[in-house]
Structure 1
């Protein structure tokens, strides 16, 4: 059976917003499963041919999604580029700073048929108000050594880690070279590479074959294809291989999706795939798997972490103040 292409970071990014009816700062309110964008096509969106010679320009449907409560009006969204690469249907959107939405002033990378958001960046702020911020809490838990990002996308997680932790070296894997090209052109990835030439290394290829000498101190896993977690993440042998690629004391943090994920194949239910992936992790790491829920419901969308839960107060002290709110949100996965 042909394996699903790896290295794609497809997920449903959902803003992390304090719930208006809860006083706890750890309560979250999410947008609908997809960021509903009502937009109009620009006259001449760039097909990005100079960056990806093999890509074929394509056209978004003229059908306009109806604006919802958390949607963005058409005239506040601009399509910067759209084309088909070998692996993806790629679109880059720019959301006006005038929009009444958490993504106002951002650029969004959309991949696959459903248009799932894969990366986000803001011009005037570092934090994304999405689960990338949770990813950025991992480095203080790790022993010395490089961090691997499996499913690099346009570099959202890498940017946070490089700028917050001056000692961390990042190695990122992405299957689609066109995604990296878009990241360099529209998401400031080229600037990031110039700024950190000895701390950022990007590879094109199968992310699950990633390796570095002496192993990773930590791994961030964000591997989706066609809008769904890749099937390899529901296989215990995958987690055995990843575990072997860690240094002593190393950890893995994973975007395991959830019910909010919309796959191209309707038979790939996001909630069930998440549960199968967590069970595969639990089989390998036993009781050393913890889960952080990003939504109001436990199965809405989740991040998983391997290893013993650390001293929470020490973890908070090692984090920037803006990230400390996530520490108390982890719960053991009971299998």
Structure 2
């Protein structure tokens, strides 16, 4: 596994997501030459190079040299690890003073984050933390565990909760235990909560428990795109069978299937721009809600099954940082 002690400055992140279901068998790489995209604004133009000794170094471009002094005032990033697996050709761990990142696939999309100066990600993961207050008391499944971003959030605010996570790539679990504090989540809290980790296909019929789940979080991506099974009605009907009565599914649905501005995405039927929500709405007619996150929050669509909760009650039951956000949910209305 290659390491680097040189600070690396990056451009904005692709907050796209997790869990690959591919049968390829690429060879792990000690390092890779590529642009790494990890900042909201561009502060430098650097590339990673493999030196003859296998170490990763950052070679600045002329533009980067001109901005070197300005970049020093910005948050710096360090490459902690680069490797690959049978499921992910490229796996990178990037560190900064404020956040640690898991990057996957050749597009280097961010699949997990671990904030260091707080708990909130300011992206779609925060939405998952609103689920426990609108489902029955019981275990919650995380289909697409990644490095455990959603698990960190949920156990922070609901330390009694039993989480059961599935991740298809054992290498990601290994790295998450080394770099993302996964062992802390696997320990039982004083309130009885914990995370149980399963390595395997999150859509397998075996990815279930006796009695069903109170809630299911679905966050399954490959190559920066939602996996195609989630655009099929039958997939959602099978996932719903894993719920206990009155249970709900919350889904990271990715983006629109074409470039869409936020201004064009305010109508009651604008969810049709997202293929996953279209499949969900067909699977759960009259029992689906959706919202689209802001530019600051990665512009993802998210969906929630079941009747629309009482938004005022929901607002008072979630952490204060989510109280306004839950009021943005609206029903998925068929045209």
TM-score grouping bracket, smaller chain normalisation: 0.7 to 0.9
What is aligned with 1:171?
Answer: 164
Deviation at 1:32, TM superposition (A): 6.1
1:208 aligned to 184, 203, 212, which one?
203
1:248 aligns with 2:245: yes
SS in 1 for 2:312: helix
On the 8 A contact 2:13/2:110 being kept in 1, the answer is: no
C-alpha contact 1:183 1:189 (8 A) present in aligned 2:
yes
Alpha-carbon distance between aligned partners in 2 of 1:129 and 1:115, rounded to the nearest angstrom: 19
TM-superposed CA distance for 1:70, in Å, is 1.3
Paired residues of 1:34 and 1:260 also in contact (CA < 8 A): no
The one of 217, 221, 225 equivalent to 2:222 is 225
Give unpaired runs (5+ residues) of structure 1.
1-30, 36-53, 98-104, 263-270
Matching residue of 2:104 = 111
Relative contact order (alpha carbons < 8 A, sep ≥ 6): 1 or 2 greater? 1
Computing the radius of gyration over CA atoms, which structure comes out larger, 1 or 2? 2
Deviations 1:34-70 (A, max 9, x none): 37xxxxxxxxxxxxxxxxxx97233221x55699871
Within 2, Cα distance between the matches of 1:67 and 1:248?
41
Query: Quick one: distance in 2 between partners of 1:69 and 1:90?
Result: 21
Tell me, in whole angstroms, the C-alpha distance in 2 between the residues paired with 1:66 and 1:194.
33
User: How many residues of Structure 1 are paired with residues of Structure 2 in the alignment?
Assistant: 270
Quote the RMSD (CA, aligned, Å). Answer: 3.0
Cα distance in 1 for residues equivalent to 2:186 and 2:103: 22
Normalised to the residue count of structure 2, the TM-score between the two structures is: 0.73
TM-score, normalised with respect to structure 1: 0.73
Task: Give 2:14's aligned residue.
Answer: 34
- Report SS of the residue matched to 1:208: coil
Matching of residue 121 in structure 1 with residue 122 in structure 2: no
Q: CA deviation at 1:192?
A: 2.1
Query: SS state of the match for residue 274, structure 2?
Result: helix
Describe the superposition over 1:231-254 as per-residue Cα deviations: whole angstroms up to 9, x where unpaired: 110111111111111111000000
